[in-house]
Structure 1
């Protein structure tokens, strides 16, 4: 595995292993989405994640990571990320729920996130989800050799803020490989006074815009994990793991 500015560059074999890890993550997220409906406790999704990891012979990437107590981050409405699944939290019509899930397959990580509607949601919630998903796609288009890392950031920020939504700044995307979090950090905004790095084939990036209806300011709840919008307005989260190749970006976190 080669290095460039402290960033691990993956070869085709390593990217192939990461593709399988991410394929499994995508299959699990597909199943979670199929089970989203009013009346469901969010703990059901945790149970699905653990069962599918066992069936696929992979390890949940988040379980025990820096003390995180679950396999799944399950965040509802104003919860941005790192929410806890719960038997007491029952989804209701009009909620939106974000799933962030990762696995380890033969020493390599997969990581992806999606936000789902619970039944019929408000026009504002639907627009938030659509803009967040599309901002991810627009960011991925910039993940090509020769571009600057902040080309990804600028594309996401410009698109999201053009619709009047906020970009969370406290949490960012990241490199990924044989570790869940590797260099570089990938902000969804362009940091002032900082120079980005050139993108090279072999980089694998977890790009993950977190977008809010209101302010980008964040609070962390007493559980020391669940991050919520300070103004308690809705937030959405989408993430793909993407390999940068000479042929352009390759999204690894897709199902078959």
Structure 2
């Protein structure tokens, strides 16, 4: 397993440091964003490597979506440094993000009910052969992308309106692979899904890692996070509050970092029920 740099700011103030052996696909340092008097993010650090799923967790208002929007070119930081493959970059627009190899799936998915799977995958990026759309080539690529994700969507010609919520999320994730991205940001991809559909989407997320991408997963579901993540980054009140190895950290430690409570309070207090979800 890759050695990672990890600074854990756990509630008792302990810190653990490990050295990194490679350059992250995405590195953010000292990211700060204010909305008038509100500090949404303060001096936030984040790394995402190739072949890695990093889960970004925190309570409502912790700054997760704000950070995701900066990576995606929707918002600009007030200060801080962003690097892609070790090179400093700016991401002023969503188009610039795509040009840097960053693809994002927000909660609203931004899919078109009246179009089929292929048309949704290539929406705004249609392939052409002369003056006409090259539907055959787009369908060929769509089938390949869905195979890469191990998707169970019955046909690339299926209208979106005929698909389940889980299948629609699969289409949204598959669309990120059009254009060969290196970094994929997923904002609550399993929200409102059934257990079966959630399991299917988690397989797709793992496939993104297997394909060599760096994945940033934003989620409130700790079971989903622990099922697929390699590292867990906690934000609390817009600040870093821990970076953890997902294979070793306990629910108690993660929830303590999210809420600011002690581990004993997590086990014995009212929030202890969250640990069994």
Question: 1 or 2, which has the higher helix percentage?
Answer: 2
Question: Does the pair score TM above 0.5?
Answer: no
Give me the TM-score of the superposition, normalised by structure 1: 0.30
Whose radius of gyration is greater, 1 or 2? 2
Give me the TM-score of the superposition, normalised by structure 2: 0.29
